[in-house]
Structure 1
């Protein structure tokens, strides 16, 4: 029987229900078990900030698709319920994320983001001057950059730092001899912003928090990869003390490779511990054996978004896609959505395990081919369940594994790693004599 209009409409509903989006607090489709497990990183960070005196730093990480932005929204609400004033900033709106980052342009982006958030919420700025105008004056008087012409308007400088690699580089180069002054000026502005907010709310002791999202998206491309990753290490390790701002509580999202690249960086920021989101617990500890509880959680996630999903998928097929996703929620949704346009007749439904295999094959092919030296590395990861990073020069490859989800991070009491389930046959077939 050809696909009926009603069935086509139901397929469309499920397709759109699984569209990638950041969930706001209280969204009825939110499932707490996805990210909380035996510990709730949001609760821990909120408690830590609530207890901290003065300013402080929290670090938050996880692979793409694990729900960091959604959890940051929940953290914002939780902190506000504890009485704090909380600002959220997406750093991708303020800086170029595919080039080397230095403490100068990073703090410029953070201060600029804070300035805009304060302006939006309270309609004013400390000293009646936003940070961008203050930065223009600083660059012209302290650093003496006099040849940028019209780009040194407040709006123009923000756009140029985000979109113009040459401009970003020139600011970095000019600021290198004045890092201490630029850091101090940014810290001064952020401190004044805290005072301004406290004046607006009439409470001189009110906690003020800035959530800095998208830092984890900084990644190198091509021949520049290693330089970009090294710059991230230098930012969070070499300049750790500059990322801690007096009076202000800051939560930075960080790339998942940073804990490998610069372990212990948080200790230099006043003892910050990195909270990490991992893939849904759908495998037994360091094994390929599916965990029934984890599979049940992912079925709950689908049911929240589309209660009648069993009309379209056999439960065994959904479990198969859950295993094939490796517990990565974004990948799970993507695999389900990829199955839907191929349905041509009502009689095909509900989709079976056999029916979803073409989708799995298509998703696998997107990750292939894999160079032999990478296959050898991936096979070592399957055997040891660690990252197996041997030298710094290999970091871009590891970052690529994590960014592209060829390698996934899990936690069963302690953290461990394994390859994407769709790659198992390919990696397992790689000869042990070539290791």
Structure 2
């Protein structure tokens, strides 16, 4: 039986309802239970908001999780929570300012931070009416023209409006800024910190509140990752940023929340302690499996059904319970992957009588998703097998870090927490990994 116009429209509605987007806490499809429990058993967003409320003179909080676990959405919720307690909070996506596939240094990182805050203040209707304010980009152009000698590196400073775009899109400009800055790190840090301090003071004057707290929530830092031969250099630059320059990432009078790579605790163990004792709070995949096992957790499956129901209340007309649960288990509890698998099923529906889809009817999307992750080299399968058997990362040496980051970034390995953090390979790879004969064990 061909699809009716009504059914086709319903399939389209569900398809679009599962598109990847950042939610705000007041969005009707937002489900707070997804990330409401952190390592301590409490809500990590509320914990961070409380820390900022209690911190005096500025401070640092760290936030992490694999791609798709909802960091950006939770940062938006944090922004709302902070504003509700009288903190002026600005959210900035640093992917708009940083070239994410090249090494990062403290100079261009602080420049990007300061530029982001400058742009957010200028765009905020509460503070946009000050005609005497000079943007950070204007300040930077003046600084580069008067404080740093460029002749030796032939750096041509672009127009003020182009500096931001050049830092993000022009690897040559970014590299030259870094080269010049290495001899002037103290000056750049001092000037950026001065800008942050002056901005906080200005906002306090504008609001008439001398004790006003200002927070800057910096997203997408965790997306900095190496590619090809530069991979290890990029990861080393992240280590250097959060470890060697930790003190420069603490800004007096400003409260900062940095999203950091999931591997930071491995890459730069103890970096948080150098930033005032900051604890890394981590978002994980929905625990659809029992602790350190592959036994199904019914509570996790029920939660993912609730998420789908918020997106489209009539989902049960399209999927049977068994079919939706199969897709949930195949996603490993990763929301972005779960939505993707569900969406992949919809364009293939051609027969009205096939609805709701059975468990067997959705198997084809698993094959497609698995094929995207294969083939995997034998030495990588060795490592994945160790992770599957131990539920730990099994990182043996620093040189292997880019590969671990690849596993986490591409969700070949998923992070869970049922009381404590643990890891397992993506469910769609289990059979391949479990059946692999380790290198050196072949007859």
TM-score between the two structures when normalised by the length of structure 2: 0.96
Deviations 1:162-200 (A, max 9, x none): 110001000000000110110010000001000011111
Check the 8 A contact 2:288/2:300 in 1, yes or no. Answer: yes
Q: Is 1:183 the counterpart of 2:189 in the alignment?
A: yes
Equivalent position of 2:61 in the other structure:
58
Deviations 1:343-372 (A, max 9, x none): 111011111110011000100000000000
Which of residues 99, 103, 106 in structure 2 aligns to 1:103? Answer: 106
Deviation of residue 153 (structure 1)?
2.2
Equivalent position of 2:49 in the other structure:
46
CA 1:383–1:195 in 2, change beyond 3 Å: closer, same or farther?
Answer: same
Check the 8 A contact 2:378/2:439 in 1, yes or no. Answer: no
Q: How does 1:203-352 map to 2 (within 5 A)?
A: 203-352=209-358
Which of residues 113, 137, 154 in structure 1 aligns to 2:160? Answer: 154
Which of residues 400, 413, 420 in structure 2 aligns to 1:407? Answer: 413
C-alpha separation in 2, matches of 1:127 and 1:269: 34
C-alpha separation in 1, matches of 2:131 and 2:266: 39
Check the 8 A contact 2:59/2:250 in 1, yes or no. Answer: yes
Check the 8 A contact 1:219/1:225 in 2, yes or no. Answer: yes
Equivalent position of 1:141 in the other structure:
146
Deviations 1:176-235 (A, max 9, x none): 011011001000000100001111111010100000111011011111000000000100
C-alpha separation in 1, matches of 2:132 and 2:234: 36
Which of residues 193, 197, 205 in structure 2 aligns to 1:199? Answer: 205
C-alpha separation in 2, matches of 1:326 and 1:167: 41
Deviation of residue 128 (structure 1)?
2.7
How large is the Cα RMSD of the aligned pairs? Answer: 1.3
CA 1:247–1:125 in 2, change beyond 3 Å: closer, same or farther?
Answer: farther
Structure 2: which 5+ residue stretches go unaligned? none
Check the 8 A contact 1:87/1:114 in 2, yes or no. Answer: yes
Deviations 1:67-107 (A, max 9, x none): 00000000000000000111111111111111000000000
Equivalent position of 1:132 in the other structure:
137
CA 1:103–1:124 in 2, change beyond 3 Å: closer, same or farther?
Answer: farther
Runs (4+) of structure 1 moved beyond 6 Å? none
C-alpha separation in 2, matches of 1:17 and 1:433: 44
C-alpha separation in 1, matches of 2:159 and 2:370: 48
C-alpha separation in 2, matches of 1:198 and 1:25: 27
Check the 8 A contact 1:115/1:125 in 2, yes or no. Answer: no
Q: Is 1:360 the counterpart of 2:366 in the alignment?
A: yes
Check the 8 A contact 1:68/1:277 in 2, yes or no. Answer: yes
C-alpha separation in 2, matches of 1:184 and 1:153: 23
Q: Which range moves more in the overlay, 252-261 or 393-402?
A: 252-261
Deviation of residue 127 (structure 1)?
6.3
CA 1:434–1:423 in 2, change beyond 3 Å: closer, same or farther?
Answer: farther
Structure 1: which 5+ residue stretches go unaligned? none
C-alpha separation in 1, matches of 2:143 and 2:267: 33
Deviation of residue 152 (structure 1)?
3.2
Classify the secondary structure of the residue corresponding to 1:59: strand
